[in-house]
Amino acid sequence: MSEVAVKPNNDLSKSVKAFLTKYSIYFILVLLVAILTFLSPAFLKPVNLINIVRQISLIAIVGFGVTMIIITTGIDLSSGSVIAVAGIVASKFAHPDTYPLAVALILGLGVGLLAGAINGFFVSIVKLPAFIATLGMMLSFRGVGYILSEGHPITNFTKEYDFIGSGYWLGLPLMIYILFGAAVLSYVILRHTKTGKCIYAIGGNQQAAVVSGINVKKNLMFVYSYAGMMSALAGIMLSSRLSSGQPTAGLTYEMDAISSAVIGGTSLSGGIGTIQGTLIGALIIGVLNNGMDLMHINAYYQQVVKGSIIVLAVILDKARNR
């Protein structure tokens, strides 16, 4: 490789440019916040901001698992259905004077883990394309949700279960703490563990990963199971927040989760992506939704804007990775 010859006076502007492109989504978020603050006085009120973070907590949590999957060049379309089933299962064990809270939580998360493991089995062992495997699970699991609930919402929860979605601690909703916990856990797994390194390696070059002695099947099983569990966590939170486990819960959440990851810089061709990026991606979606609501923009137009933002984000990302 020839020596890199950079003119010294270019150095500063170059590194500034590199910095801007590296953190471009952060700037977009800041820019959005600035614009909305200017347009709507209600936007920057703490109540509203807390509300935004609580609103995005579900798609962000689902997004963390999906991010890992996308990094391995996979995809998960079943998250929304897993949200419904996990919510229903947990709800069934959350009636007053029946089981302790732990039972509802363990079973709810367990069913998500199982759903994820089934996805993982089809992707890593049967070697189906992730799109097909999780599309099948999306339909089947939605069906399971209807079967288990017999088509009706499940209501009447213990106080503890209600607390998950509507409780406050130190002035902040519990959901925000859960979001924070899930973010830290996912970040640490991806960034600081051997499993994380393996996930990036599988996405970067699966063949090279195999040759390097990385157990691709085991790691893919982990990733899909983890994502299933994250969806289940979101499902439990949603059922608690709505005070009912519903078979229609979480519809199209998988798309918002994938969008968050993609806006946050996760590459659909694999090997690239971060948890913090996905969190910012989810916040961008949340801030946009909230801002447009505050400005009373017609819901139909909101969808158009959201779609355009996703496409723009990918264009930006292409420029960044060039």
Partner 1 sequence: MEEQYILEMVDISKSFPGVQALKGAGIKVRKGSVHALMGENGAGKSTLMKILGGLQPADSGKIILKGQEVSFSSPSESLKNKISMIHQELTSIPHMTVAENIYLGREPLAGKVFVKDSDQNARATELLQGLGIQIDPKIKMVRLSIAQMQLIEIAKAISYNSEIIIMDEPTSAITEREVEHLYTMIRNLTKKGVAVIYISHKLNEIFNIADEVTVMRDGEYVNTKKIEELTRQDIISMMVGRELTHMFPKVEVEIGEPVLEVKNLTRAGKFNNISFTLHKGEILGLAGLMGAGRTEVMESLFGLVPANSGEVLIKGKPVNIKSASDAKKNGLAFITEDRKLTGLFLPHSVKDNIIAASLDRFVVGGIFMNEKSVNGICEDQKKLLRIKTPTIEQKVKNLSGGNQQKVLLAKWLLTDADIIILDEPTRGIDVGAKSEIHALMGELVKTGKSVIMISSELPEILGMSDRIIVMHEGKLTGEVSRQDATQDVLMSFATGTI
Q: Residue 265 — φ and ψ, nearest 5°?
A: 100, 5
Nearest C-alpha neighbor of 212 from the set 197, 224, 226? 197
Q: Which is nearer to partner 1, 45 or 194 (CB)?
A: 194
Q: Establish if 297 lies at the interface with partner 1 (CB under 8 A).
A: no
Q: How far, in Å, CA of 226 to CA of 217, rounded? A: 14
Of the residues 5, 47, 126, 170, which one makes contact with partner 1 according to CB under 8 A: 5
Q: Establish if 65 lies at the interface with partner 1 (CB under 8 A).
A: no
Q: How far, in Å, CA of 76 to CA of 65, rounded? A: 9
Which residues from 263-282 bind partner 1, rule CB under 8 A? 267, 271-272
Q: Which is nearer to partner 1, 17 or 45 (CB)?
A: 17
Which residues from 196-225 bind partner 1, rule CB under 8 A? 196-198, 200-201, 204-205, 207-215
Min dist CB 125 to partner 1, Å, is 15
* 154 three-class SS: strand
Q: Which is nearer to partner 1, 193 or 248 (CB)?
A: 193
Q: Establish if 14 lies at the interface with partner 1 (CB under 8 A).
A: yes
Q: Which is nearer to partner 1, 58 or 71 (CB)?
A: 71
Q: Which is nearer to partner 1, 152 or 218 (CB)?
A: 218
* 169 three-class SS: strand
Min dist CB 222 to partner 1, Å, is 12
Q: Establish if 184 lies at the interface with partner 1 (CB under 8 A).
A: no
Options 30-38, 104-112, 160-168, 190-198: segment touching partner 1 (CB under 8 A): 190-198
Options 139-147, 155-163, 188-196, 242-250: segment touching partner 1 (CB under 8 A): 188-196
CA atoms within 13 A on the CB side of 269: 5
Q: Establish if 12 lies at the interface with partner 1 (CB under 8 A).
A: no
Q: How far is CA 67 from CA 44, 62, 118, 145, 275, in A?
A: 29, 9, 18, 25, 7
Q: How far is CA 97 from CA 10, 104, 164, in A?
A: 70, 13, 18
Q: How many residues does the chain have?
A: 322
Q: How far, in Å, CA of 243 to CA of 239, rounded? A: 6
Q: Which is nearer to partner 1, 176 or 185 (CB)?
A: 185
Min dist CB 37 to partner 1, Å, is 36
Q: How far, in Å, CA of 124 to CA of 210, rounded? A: 13
Strand partners, 154: 245
Q: How far, in Å, CA of 208 to CA of 223, rounded? A: 19
Q: Establish if 1 lies at the interface with partner 1 (CB under 8 A).
A: yes
Q: Yes or no: say if 137 and 119 are a contact pair by the CB < 8 Å rule.
A: yes
Min dist CB 283 to partner 1, Å, is 26
Min dist CB 51 to partner 1, Å, is 35
CA atoms within 13 A on the CB side of 24: 17
Q: Which is nearer to partner 1, 71 or 133 (CB)?
A: 71
Where do contacts with partner 1 occur on this chain (CB under 8 A)?
1-6, 14, 188, 192-198, 200-201, 204-205, 207-215, 267, 271-272, 321
